[in-house]
Amino acid sequence: MYAAQATLDEDAWDDLLSFIEEQRVIPIVGPELLEVQTEQGPRLLYDWLADKLATKLNVDVQQLPQPYTLNDVVSWYMAARGRREEAYVRLRGILRDTPLAAPAALRQLADIRDFSVFVSTTCDPLLEQALAEVRGAAPEVLSYSPNKVVDLPLAQLPPGGALLYHLFGKVAASPSYVISDEDVLEYMCALQSEHLTPERLFHALETHHLLFIGSNFSNWLARLFLRMAKRRRLSDPRDVGEVLADDHSTEDERLMSFLQQVSVRTRVFSGASRFVDELHRRWRARHPETQPLGETRRVPPLAREMPDQAVFISYAREDLAAVQRLRDGLEAAGITTWFDQDRLEAGDDFDLKIRRNIQRCSFFLPVVSATTERRHEAYFRREWNYALDRTRNMADGALFILPVLVDGTDPSRALVPEAFRSLHCSRLEGGQVSPEFAARMAEMLQRGRAQP
């Protein structure tokens, strides 16, 4: 049976590339693709993080199974009565303080422009970094947590755009992402819950061909994840299939036997990086007119500190995708923006920094939406009031607060401060910046109407 083969034949490659060109394929990226350059040479990111975190948490690695994993480090620390939150904060600090280059395999995946939606089962920012560097624009980034269900946006991606969904959470100072086997268990249970499932994402997984690349799932977890993604018995007839490309599945005789007998639409390829390299080579051969990988523009990461005279964007967290489009559209027009994408770093005086940035920004853009209508109490409302406080020192008629509507919310009935009602609201559906709005912003910045 072809499920036991360690490669794909020419017909299978041709079918896969055709499906990719029709944008009917979603890559699901795992940790086996995350080879990074460290002080000890090239290593897999999660192995390197296990060493670094063990040092930070004073874990006695001699008591751990060898070779030990990140889960081993976290589990030992928890058993020793360590604070659970501490592990996440320290891991976030390690990634924050160590600049890592995006692995070549991730850059090759990013270069396949027919991929528009990527799913990651890791918490790191390396795939986001690769997409920004290769495609010249930051992707929309969403992340799942059982405490905060974020789904795919309803609005279509702009041509050439990319969306990255962190299925097991994105690294943060809070314990809102997966770093241990216990975390995986909690997330898998939540993802199968009727009320905690990102429905649009799982509909996309169900109806698209899937590439599981570099997954480190064990035998039964691999079966469960595959069944969860397809939402039906794997032996049932279905129009879409999947490829498992990793470094271990072909060595698991029981898993291979299961796939042979039950999931005949599943193909297995031995070697995650080797699969990506071959896929990229074949896609590039069919698309020689696309800008070569080595000639793409590098985009700097979002500034943690707000640049002088930047435009401050205030928003509700659920509107992040629209805000990222808004940011990209303004930046493309040469307008420097800043918004608090990561809720700052652990230990920052959050409120003080926000107030200072509002005092320093050139314009203040409050994003108004159906989300802000639902949330009668939230931090963005405090930001709105800080902006109003600043206007008390401005001359009558000075332009500083420029409300933006990103959906069909009625501005005349919106739950906004009374002072907002006398201001012109620009409607930018889904955060898409119109040429008129970009020109207006550029003109106002040129005139310097809002002085710090």
Same domain, 355 and 436: yes
Same domain, 364 and 431: yes
Residue-level pLDDT at 49: 96
φ, ψ dihedrals at 189, nearest 5°: -65, -45
Q: In 3D, which of 212, 208, 204 has the Cα closest to residue 269?
A: 212
Query: Facing residues of 119 across strands?
Result: 28, 165
Q: How confident is the model at residue 293 (pLDDT cuts 50, 70, 90)?
A: low
pLDDT, mean over the chain: 88
Residue-level pLDDT at 341: 63
Residue-level pLDDT at 81: 87
Question: Does residue 452 lie within any of the structural domains?
Answer: no
Name the percent of the chain lying above pLDDT 70.
Answer: 92
Question: Does residue 304 lie within any of the structural domains?
Answer: no
Contact 64, 84 (CB under 8 A): no
Residue-level pLDDT at 291: 63
Contact 256, 262 (CB under 8 A): no
Could you give the number of structural domains in the chain? 3
Q: What is the pLDDT of residues 16-25, one digit of tens each?
A: 999 999 999 9
Same domain, 88 and 226: no
Same domain, 241 and 331: no
Give the SS3 label for residue 339. Answer: coil
Residue-level pLDDT at 19: 94
Same domain, 26 and 40: no
CB contact set of 347 (below 8 Å; sequence gap of 6+): none
Q: What is the CATH number of the domain that holds 433?
A: 3.40.50.10140
Contact 337, 431 (CB under 8 A): no
**Residue bearing tokens 């923006």:** 337
Residue-level pLDDT at 349: 61
* CA pair distance 413, 396, nearest whole angstrom: 25
Question: Does residue 253 lie within any of the structural domains?
Answer: yes
Same domain, 90 and 127: no
Element (H, E) at 218: none
Residue-level pLDDT at 158: 66
Question: Does residue 80 lie within any of the structural domains?
Answer: yes
**Burial label, 305 (beta-carbon count in 10 A; 0-12, 13-18, 19+):** exposed
Q: What is the pLDDT of residues 131-155, one digit of tens each?
A: 998 988 888 999 999 998 999 988 7
Residue-level pLDDT at 39: 83
CB contact set of 78 (below 8 Å; sequence gap of 6+): 84, 87, 180
Q: How confident is the model at residue 6 (pLDDT cuts 50, 70, 90)?
A: low
* CA pair distance 297, 315, nearest whole angstrom: 29
* CA pair distance 203, 14, nearest whole angstrom: 25
Question: Does residue 306 lie within any of the structural domains?
Answer: no
Same domain, 70 and 125: no
Q: What is the pLDDT of residues 329-367, one digit of tens each?
A: 998 888 999 987 654 444 446 778 889 999 999 999 999
Contact 327, 379 (CB under 8 A): no
Strands of 140-219, DSSP E = 140-143, 163-166, 209-213
Same domain, 56 and 167: no
Same domain, 52 and 76: yes
This model's pTM is above 0.85: no
Question: Does residue 429 lie within any of the structural domains?
Answer: yes
Q: What is the CATH number of the domain that holds 171?
A: 3.40.50.1220
What is the average pLDDT across 84-105? 91
pLDDT exceeds cutoff 90 at 77: yes
Element (H, E) at 245: strand 242-246
What is the average pLDDT across 93-119? 93
Same domain, 108 and 89: no
Domain that holds residue 401: 311-447
Same domain, 324 and 417: yes
Same domain, 147 and 282: yes
What is the average pLDDT across 44-53? 96
Relative to beta strand 363-368, strand 209-213 is unpaired
Chosen domain end from 234, 265, 295:
295
